[in-house]
Amino acid sequence: MAINPNNALKARHSCTLAGTGGGKSTAVKLMGLVGKHATIFDLYGEYKFDGRSKSPFNGLGRRPVYHFNTRKSFAKNFIDAWMSGKEFVVAYSPTFPETLSGSKLKEARQRELEWFAQLMWDASDGNRELDVVIEELAKLTDSIGKDDTIVGELATGGRKFGIVLHTVFQRSQEVPKTIWGNSPRKVLGAQEVQADAKRMATEFDADLADIIQISKLNGIYDEKRLYYLRKLKKGIGVIEACYIDIKAGKLVPISMEDFRKAA
């Protein structure tokens, strides 16, 4: 179970959201928000690692990621890595029978997420940080209100036990408010529709024109750059701009003035 509560620890949970092709996983890989000891609930293999590849998008920004698809293999390897004290990234990618579909498949995936999150909670220690990444959270939740699941517990109570929760999804209104409200760090990629852009302008404390600018610039620099707005500190209007150079796999911070003038 969670041990060594430390109320002096700061909340550093993060949310990363963008529409399809907006670079959600790319941001997680290359923005440096994920620490040295990390686990990933990776349903779709976004963080596959090939030791022969030199791509900056390989694994977690070139960090090796070891995937396991059964509870037993993942738990054993995670516990061994966690107890070693060394840097690691391990991912749980459960597999499901091809006969499962629709609501039954969703329920099966939710059970695996709950098991994964409970293991993270049980291993947490206020004397050490454990970064927990959950991909495509919106596909695994039933409520957009209060999250009473173990994932919600990671968001609300994990801070003092060293948990840094990173959730990845497409639209803020599709995930529990518990997750959004308890994540002071937020990364926003391109939105797909005007309604979502307007909502994010409000929730990000940003000008609508700045939200729309992300999509415009991604279109101009197609396959060359992915633009984002980030909120890495508490406070209204505390926003910064950046882009990822796709060819170099490099994060490039830019001023808001340059972001607004870019074309």
Highest mean pLDDT among 40-49, 133-142, 200-209: 40-49
Question: Is 47 in the same domain as 80?
Answer: yes
Q: pLDDT digit string (tens) for 87-99?
A: 999 999 999 999 9
Last-in-domain residue among 141, 172, 188: 188
Q: In the prediction, which pLDDT does 145 show? A: 63
Average of per-residue pLDDT across 43-55 = 93
| The residue count for the chain | 263
Position 54 pLDDT exceeds 70: yes
Q: Is 81 within 8 Å of 90 (Cβ atoms)?
A: yes
Determine the Cα–Cα distance for residues 49 and 1; give it in Å rounded to an integer: 31
Q: Compute the distance between CA of residue 192 and CA of residue 21 in angstroms, rounded to an integer.
A: 10
Q: How far apart are CA 216 and CA 72, in angstroms?
A: 46
Domain boundary among the residues 158, 188, 218 is at: 188
Query: Are both 18 and 53 inside the same structural domain?
Result: yes
Is 124 found in the same domain as 228?
Answer: no
Higher pLDDT, 121 or 145: 121
Rounded Cα gap, residues 116 and 237, in angstroms? 35
Where does a domain end: 188, 210, 240? 188
* Same-domain pairing of 169 and 39: yes
pLDDT of residue 67: 97
Give yes or no: residues 114 and 213 share one domain. no
**In the predicted structure, residue 124 carries a pLDDT above the cut 90:** yes
Contact (Cβ atoms closer than 8 angstroms) between residue 164 and residue 20: no
User: Does one domain contain both 211 and 170?
Assistant: no
Is pLDDT above 90 for 237? no
For 140-190, write each residue's pLDDT tens digit: 988 766 777 999 999 999 999 999 999 999 888 788 889 988 999 999 999
Asked if 204 and 175 sit in the same domain, the reply is no
Q: Are residues 57 and 165 in the same domain?
A: yes
Same domain as 104, residue 1: yes
The two beta strands, 130-134 and 37-41, are parallel
Give, rounded to a whole angstrom, the gap between the first and last alpha carbons of the chain. 52
Closest among 10, 17, 262 to 134, alpha carbons compared: 17
CATH code of the domain covering residue 147: 3.40.50.300
Range of the structural domain that residue 40 is part of: 1-188
Percent of the chain with pLDDT over 90: 80
pTM, two decimals, is 0.95
